[in-house]
Structure 1
């Protein structure tokens, strides 16, 4: 049974993201997330970052240096399914779908296991308005049943962490913040969604139809340039956009 992290600790971590101002702070934060959720590793890879050459990706990992060097020497970037699929998919995906694939993938996962990367993995793709693309991946040594339980319990947490981590990296790269304007109704729908309400709940609270609420949420996602409503809430909170209009 996966034990739920304390909400207070989780929210303190989110606040800490806003104060990180160095690479050392980034690594310390990733280690804290690993400890809170009992993960094995975290990896973040971004390309086309504003202000950096296209040939220079931004990478933050908690993997051992031995694995990083082995990965490079074996040119695993050419077959790594997290990368090959992450930059073309929109939604989070589990690495388990690749475990019974081609022989070269089985060798890849086998060698990764030998280096202690973790038995399970999840990748969350991120796309930015400036053209940047990023992948936020977590790994674990949990059993299949416990891993599935954790994914169900904490997928929202992981998506929020991924989005805010990406925004933090952009800040460290001195990228300008997007100029985003949400309508009053879009803000209201996101605020109630942040409180855990479904689209149907929002419709009842705001005296709107379900279809109208879903349209407002879709518009908000487009303006924020994200895929899921959870990511929209995270980005809107990070940009201080969810203050109710008076």
Structure 2
């Protein structure tokens, strides 16, 4: 593994594929991604499940990252996910795209453009790119790289786009470990999704037009399927496994 990391900068896409295929733990995936980040002259990476429309924080969707803890906390405390053009782009499209914090956040409609620009600038991530990813089960994620360097070339975008799917699928392999055979119904997903947004059973019943009893039935059934002790843990497990996408 060490030799692979030392030579990653000169590797071709097929060699990267072999590198990810050979990793045996999440820690090795994280190490490999950190080295890829440095090889491309970038500062940080973020691997996530795509947040749902009801999400109020990004932290529960983070699979692994080199974003500083304080940056994640600052992002969630300011509730930047709610009006994020980047997150909306990930929900609407599966194409990779670049971002510049100033121009990208200029289209925010929540008055938090300057907060977002300052936060990313403070941690040295004024520009970068996002690469949507997915696995055969339809779970959607994304790998982002950020830093101070100039815009990535078309070839670099293509290479990092391939790496995104490799990394996302590998991490889910380690994470799901038995979760891949869990199948949630549409109603179970809807109820868990609203629960993740902090809604009570009564509020969910009003939103979905169901009885409170029926909502609790769906939540309890999803909790059992996910082998969770309560709905809070069920939500956390579903998010980590990408089942709320």
> Shift of residue 26 of structure 1?
2.3
User: What residue in structure 2 maps to residue 161 of structure 1?
Assistant: 163
User: What residue in structure 1 maps to residue 95 of structure 2?
Assistant: 91
- Asked if the contact 1:44–1:59 (Cα under 8 Å) also holds between the matched residues in 2, the reply is yes
**Number of corresponding residues:** 161
Q: CA 1:112–1:16 in 2, change beyond 3 Å: closer, same or farther? A: same
> Shift of residue 166 of structure 1?
1.5
1:63 aligns with 2:71: no
User: What residue in structure 2 maps to residue 199 of structure 1?
Assistant: none
1:136 aligns with 2:143: yes
Q: CA 1:129–1:105 in 2, change beyond 3 Å: closer, same or farther? A: farther
TM-score, normalization: structure 2?
A: 0.57
In 1, Cα distance between the equivalents of 2:134 and 2:34?
Answer: 24
Q: CA 1:65–1:58 in 2, change beyond 3 Å: closer, same or farther? A: closer
In 1, Cα distance between the equivalents of 2:170 and 2:37?
Answer: 18
In 1, Cα distance between the equivalents of 2:44 and 2:142?
Answer: 14
Question: Which runs of no fewer than 5 residues in structure 2 stay unpaired?
Answer: 1-7, 52-58, 182-245
In 1, Cα distance between the equivalents of 2:165 and 2:92?
Answer: 17
Structure 1 window deviating more from structure 2 (165-174 vs 100-109): it is 100-109
CA deviation map 1:192-213 (0-9, x unaligned): xxxxxxxxxxxxxxxxxxxxxx
- Asked if the contact 1:30–1:62 (Cα under 8 Å) also holds between the matched residues in 2, the reply is no
> Shift of residue 10 of structure 1?
6.0
User: What residue in structure 1 maps to residue 134 of structure 2?
Assistant: 127
CA RMSD of aligned residues (A): 2.7
Matches within 5 A, 1:9-48: 12-47=15-50
- Asked if the contact 2:133–2:140 (Cα under 8 Å) also holds between the matched residues in 1, the reply is yes
Structure 1 window deviating more from structure 2 (102-111 vs 34-43): it is 102-111
User: What residue in structure 1 maps to residue 122 of structure 2?
Assistant: 114
SS of match in other structure, 1:21 = coil
CA deviation map 1:84-117 (0-9, x unaligned): 221211211222351432342232122221123x
TM-score, normalization: structure 1?
A: 0.57
User: What residue in structure 1 maps to residue 3 of structure 2?
Assistant: none
SS of match in other structure, 2:112 = helix
